[in-house]
Amino acid sequence: MQLLLLSNSTSPQGFLTHALPAITEWAQLGTEPAHVLFVPYAGVTRTWDAYEALVADALRPAGLQLHSLHREATPLEAIARATHIVVGGGNTFALVRQLRQTGQLAAIAERVRSGGARYLGWSAGANLACPRLSTSNDMPIVDPLGFDTLGLVPFQINPHYTEAHPEGHRGETRQQRLREFALLNPGVAVLGLPEGTGLRVDGNQYTLQGDPQTPARWFTDTEAPAILPMGPWKL
């Protein structure tokens, strides 16, 4: 499988601008026509049409011309033809519900696992690649009709990971929340991806990408997480 899982899409440079070199490398566009399918369903306050236009503009410099899944008359056939599947961020619960109730969740999993399509996801799209909808930062604004997701990686991801704890804030930190997950889900690891970072998956090879000053975190139990520097990484 060829995956690129990003923590975030926005940056001071613009929408997906910070990730364009990694996206271009991931895309591996050759001489054959590419069928790039965008999944906009995590967009809630942004319409799917507007989301499609935003992502199309952002990915054009990488040589990607996409079509949104919500416009397809036969979406399952579109998934079966796709060479690249791009899943945008937003609300993960809304994303999973729409994909599950249309049968598209299983179709995407099959297409990517078979090697037929490369997978790019940020924020909610990175959550979707995990085994379960369990380490999202989103509110459950809709019933996702189940917590199983694509299972493209054998661990959970927490995008937008931060160690920040504003002065006067009395709620739990992100690290505390992920330790709660570890306590109730023994043996299930979580990768915390800070802003500006991502995970490249090439078969069984994993590479953490991004600013070396913002290392990722690896939770395996209720103790403090391990710090993972950018670069090749072995499970």
- Residue by residue, DSSP assigns 4-73 as EEES-SEETTEESGGGHHHHHHHH---SSPP-EEEE-TT-SSS-HHHHHHHHHHHHGGGT--EEEGGG-S
pTM comes to: 0.95
Radius of gyration of the chain (CA): 17
Residue 123 appears among annotated catalytic residues: yes
- How high does pLDDT run on average in the chain? 93
Q: Which of 35, 123, 136, 165 is flagged as catalytic? A: 123
Q: Annotate 15-40 with b (16+ C-beta within 10 A) or e (fewer).
A: ebebbeebbeebbeeeeeebbbbbbb
Which pLDDT does position 63 carry in this prediction? 92
pLDDT beyond 80 at 169: no
Say what the pLDDT of residue 29 is.
80
Whether the pLDDT of residue 31 is over 90: the answer is no
CATH of domain 2-233: 3.40.50.880
Which residue ranges make up each domain of the chain? 2-233
160, 165, 202, 221: which one is catalytic? 160
Q: In the predicted model, is pLDDT for residue 168 greater than 80?
A: no
pLDDT at residue 149 in the model: 98
Beta carbons within 10 angstroms of residue 198's beta carbon: 27
